[in-house]
């Protein structure tokens, strides 16, 4: 949700009160790490010089900082370690444990939105958490709140003009 192509749509929906989103310090760190890796990988593919890589990272700093500030304002911070005892043997990647622990700490029943089909059983309930990809989540949200698409579009339009 935080890194996908529809991340601004999700943040707008949460900021407008259509759902309550949650994150943890683990997810904040993961967000910054992944964004930095994307820059490094792209620079590597493009055979960028060390000077260019440094400039790219410096330019991304303001974007990442602004996005983290938005996330902090829009999402509710939970302590993922409060769910450290959860039985998560079904997860194959240990780095996904804190993500599910964040969802559990946010409250059961709940929904975890991810487009990671490889590591998460989309459409299933695990540990009291429904795991959905972004499209079905937004479809359900828009069915529940028919006015949401127009409100979100207006919100995003205002954000782009600022």
Residue 70's Cβ-count burial label (10 Å; 0-12, 13-18, 19+) is middle
Cα 47 versus chain centre, distance = 29
The answer to whether residue 25 sits within a structural domain is: yes
pLDDT at residue 160, as a whole number: 85
pLDDT higher than threshold 80 for residue 2: no
Give dist(CA 44, CA 159) in Å, integer: 32
How many structural domains are present in the chain?
1
pLDDT at residue 139, as a whole number: 96
The answer to whether residue 1 sits within a structural domain is: no
Which helix (H) or strand (E) segment is 62 a member of? helix 50-74
Across 77-105, average pLDDT: 96
Residue at token pair 């990647």: 93
pTM over 0.85: yes
The answer to whether residue 47 sits within a structural domain is: yes
Across 129-146, average pLDDT: 96
Owning domain of residue 142: 7-161
Give dist(CA 79, CA 105) in Å, integer: 7
Crossing angle of helices 50-74 and 7-15, rounded to 10°: 30
User: Which residues make Cβ contacts (< 8 Å) with residue 87, sequence separation at least 6?
Assistant: 127
Across 32-44, average pLDDT: 89
The answer to whether residue 2 sits within a structural domain is: no
pLDDT at residue 92, as a whole number: 94
Across 118-133, average pLDDT: 96
User: Which residues make Cβ contacts (< 8 Å) with residue 117, sequence separation at least 6?
Assistant: 133
The answer to whether residue 66 sits within a structural domain is: yes
């Amino acid at each position: 949700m935080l890194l996908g192509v529809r991340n601004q749509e999700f943040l707008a929906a949460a900021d407008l009160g259509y759902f309550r989103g949650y994150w943890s310090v683990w997810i904040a760190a993961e967000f910054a790490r992944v964004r930095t890796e994307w820059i490094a990988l792209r620079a590597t593919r493009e055979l960028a010089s060390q000077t260019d890589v440094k400039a790219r990272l410096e330019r991304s700093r303001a974007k990442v900082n602004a996005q983290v500030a938005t996330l902090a304002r829009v999402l509710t911070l939970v302590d993922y370690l409060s769910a450290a005892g959860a039985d998560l043997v079904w997860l194959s990647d240990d780095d996904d444990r804190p993500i599910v622990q964040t969802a559990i700490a946010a409250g059961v029943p709940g929904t975890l939105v991810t487009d990671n089909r490889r590591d998460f059983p989309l459409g299933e309930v695990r540990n009291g958490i429904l795991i959905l990809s972004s499209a079905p989540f937004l479809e359900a949200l828009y069915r529940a709140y028919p006015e949401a698409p127009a409100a979100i579009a207006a919100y995003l339009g205002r954000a782009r003009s600022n």
